[in-house]
Structure 1
């Protein structure tokens, strides 16, 4: 009971006793104006209005699930705090641990790395009755000093390695331990660390894209409540400022490598866990404050540079020399889809696989769905019940592994930590599929990990990825010009063709409203797709699940095609219509800007029924206009033949694949 009361007191202290320092930090990092705004609105934040006006609220720590689990399943833990120099910050760190944990379940060991006198004795005196203190006789650096403390931990204890400048918050330990015991294979868990100004210091460790010999913290400097940082899961590594290590991991992978004098020892430890077949996790439910400066010096000392050299001697090939080729030197490629149902994104992925396989590459599809019944996919399909099973099988493949949808990114990334190269084919920024769902937006954006090589289909999507500091390569989808072409069939005079889908992004309602506003003298409406019920209320004619050749015939018979999408990552049906010589009326859907030119190869209407109706009436009333749009449309489509697209795709895949072993020799 006493430690629970202490936890409550700590929570209040975190919000009240630090007000002077928080005021100073707000002025320093946010400016005087933001400080005055917060000061004036502070009384309101104590009312029910507080949720609406409190800026950058600190995310809650712990969770009811973790606390409930911990009460009945807790494991003993030793918290090891390496220390050097003046004792004040270390004393604060120990007090925070004691305020937020039960002393019957948590042992605290502070290890001083031979600080100059009188700091060691001051530390011992200040922590009497609060922690065990080990005063080392020789300064050996962080890794060796941390190992002193971990060796002193009981053999049945898990270990938390905690920096001396980290302040624990209520619920931190329960969340870390709950995550650690969520699966037997978990070895290490790290929390979300915040700077004192409540911006993120670390949410997992990634390789620095701009300086690949170094590692950086994910979401550094983002607000504490940054949505993607609220998504936990596997991560390459976590910072040594706070690491929860299970006893099973310590027994299997050992302690920190003491050859690292400064830096890299934490990443090395995590990579050894991955190599042992275990997992490293990031859990944002555990949040602590790290009193590390936001700006650090750019010059590295000799000990840090020595650690860097040691790390890359050991791990350089592990990162940069991945075997992804067959014995004949061809690429081994696995695409991953969530299912294999009818869809434009699947069509692009399946065309990639078929055409790469035709060029001699070894290609497979990994999916939660069976072989598609609507597309002639000519590569092996491996089907799994769960993503966990899929990732486990894919992890054994030495190849290029391609995620094709945000929900496939995590299993592809995890399956590529030790073997292979992860690629992310982003055909759209998939937050568009989840309007007004911020949690889903966060999950989608979190899937765009820095470790992927990015491939996309349009300039609009590429620009969005660049805004996330993710450099993409654009390879547009192709059109099968042997299938989609002008046929010798009579074209109807008054038929409007539309893709009949209920997906809100397609905005079929706008098409219907514009068509109905044309009145009784308007054209007949035909639709195609897999949702025939959409046509019944309007008396439209619906062609259910037509083959590609049947779609081409529909395009050749129709007077015009209309598509009024709110948003598209590319919009392949418009190109297919152009290839078939069908006039196109569309809206600006972002991804179609690469090939749709208003007044030249299409009419691009504003997003309202009157504008769409006016464009349709122009097309149906003017045969000469239809002829010009058709001629320019077929010229546009001719530049999108699949062979040229696969040339570009093959160059991209070759660029991410290391040279063959023979070439390296």
Structure 2
């Protein structure tokens, strides 16, 4: 059974190594052995390590061979089937389940081969130093975050996501990744070897990902501190080696130059988009340059924007994109000229239409804005590019600023006095609550021209002994990347905004699971009507924009909403949290970047994108299967029949006394009782069962299941080939992947209508529910085995032609390298597969009851094309995790 070898590379600095080992051993990783590779230490390391006894293995190298050769020595000393985890000796392990969560990320998709994690500085350091990085081709000055920023940790980047590279201070390497591309390249002594390895892996179709569920501490450069320039010399030497191999490749990866003209140093929505989208477009193969439309000082720590600002420009870039609060007052220079724009009114000023007319195409976030420009006389093409939310930052687990726990906090963010109507908001709050109510209105005033006037208005209107608690927060340039912490500190986000413009805060509040009170108007209309709590308004003229209308919130309606929010705060909070993740997934800023990328590159002079390498999977390796067979199939699909058939071929299901039998199958299910109960407990721990499969599961439930399953697999290992079989494994097989060594998956398939009719007879299950359950089990099973060696066994063929089906299965397993199989014997096969075993054959046309997705799934199974798939199929999605769509 597969394990993991943890390789700690040490060179002197024994106090650091001791701290690392003590915290590592305290986390008690399961199914892992610890190997310390001593890179020729001359301090007390060789003698002090003896105190750890058999809690670790120790490999002493005769001299300092450098990071690369030292780690390669450790990899060579690891068991040949083990995954390996490369670890610096200046890490501190403060999370008990770090290895299990790395394993989850490593086996979440077949192409995942390299896994890193979030790394803070030393203990007590609140900054994130590593979240998965990138390297730019100009100076090859690699960054350890995609945004180029070192940020205070507020829980950002909590999901598993693909990145260009991870830092090998910690790197989980799947064994099949090592088998595919080899060990670290010894052209590097130390530094750049990690980025080189990740880029080589990408060329082979292997992804590098960051497991956002893991956060550890890294004492930056602890093992080479105070070294008299040694580290700098290593870095320079490795940089030269890296440049010779990759610099031209990285430059060639760009399809053309795009000039983004806008603002970044203001709190405005347009500046928000520049900060979020410039680097995303760069990562998608567009060489992004940046030019401010007015004087500004860039954030010195925002490496990617600073890089874009100092890039040289061709005379005419392939494209130029304008994005600022005001329309351009000078020419936009680019072969293709575009603008990303939105206004605050039902019709933008006529001058806007004239000044944006130089653009070939106008991009707007929604239909309302398209109509607002058309009404003003804009006649060039307009395309809608929906603008989403950055899920890396805005989610319900974002860490809040300190706040009083005994008050319901309403948060309002205001920037412009006329547009954001703080006076209307404060008046409504005062009408809704009294001084002794446990509430607070926190008005965060963004820096800008109106800051002082807004503060004076809020303080004047909130004065008085009978006023509820109202706090104006101004004079504070709140870091944009920490805005989620401000939202998380609130119970309700409220807006009396008159303007119709696109507002990122509204979307971010919903993604953080905070109820939103706002007028359902303009770019927020669909958002508020679907996810928020709308407030009535009337259309009024904006005196500063002739002929333009915007929304004026009804004060009494806003007061009523505020009272309702307080009275129903728990119900509102529960509902907001329930919809947060689904909203963010459906309104992802990365999808916006994809759409924007398509718009920029259409009909232009950009070079063709480089073809992506085929997605890697373990099946691509020329190596024999390991004799571990996993039978997957929906309840009533015939998995017991296939289990018994495998037993006739000499595949061991475990001791007879541990195998289940039941009245519906007196000859035996060929299910190991302990594995069966582990599956039952796993689903129950997540709040479901086989008929109501849970969508998500607590990490502790996954870990407990994996431990129980590992104990069963340990009993089977001495007698390969063996198989496991349990219908619930369709839902859980992915969680077993870290334990299996070159497994083969046997998918047992049956006509879904027959499955439904069988479940109706046995369990009284309605047909639509049974078909939805079949869809869920089948999709989960094939998704779990993506990229792995797998075969299909058709239950109908097994019953109709048992010997031929047994011979075909035997042939496929032998071809995959499964050793120790007996040839099918006609008598034994006939004795097991009885004539007439298949009941309830579906009639012609029965598949018409399937939904379109179910028919497509069945068709892919019927023609075998599902075995060639390398990308996961979408799961059915209702609140119970089952499809409720009907055939139509």
Coarse TM-score class (shorter-chain normalised): 0.3 to 0.5
Scaled by the length of structure 1, the TM-score of the pair is: 0.44
Scaled by the length of structure 2, the TM-score of the pair is: 0.34
